Amino acid sequence: MQFTGLKDKNGKEVYDGDRVSLWLEEAFFSDTIVGEIDWSDSGSGWIVDFPDRGHSILISSLDIDYAQLEVIGNIYESKDLLDNGSDSRIIKK
């Protein structure tokens, strides 16, 4: 796993393949959702990928402080974070 150069809100290093929770606010939606850290060749940067939502967010374009990211596991060790084969899910607070 490759280090992204970022740390989450708890000071934990963020790596490629890490599963992270992120507070996300959109026009009709605001909640904590789970995504996966990945590299985007087209965006030339690290992204949080939300496959079941149909989009990704380039981390450098996030309009938030990185401190809101929280590592909750990774794709290699946290298979239980997958929900019926989906790569992300919504966590209600």
Query: Tell me, what's the pLDDT at 87?
Result: 42
CATH of domain 3-75: 2.30.30.290
Query: Tell me, what's the pLDDT at 80?
Result: 57
Q: 28 vs 1, 16, 31, 50, CA distance in Å?
A: 35, 29, 10, 17
Q: Which two structure tokens, joined as six digits, stand for 37? A: 């850290």
pTM over cut 0.85: no
How do residues 72-89 score in pLDDT, each as one tens digit? 998 887 555 544 444 444
How do residues 36-62 score in pLDDT, each as one tens digit? 999 988 878 899 898 777 888 888 766
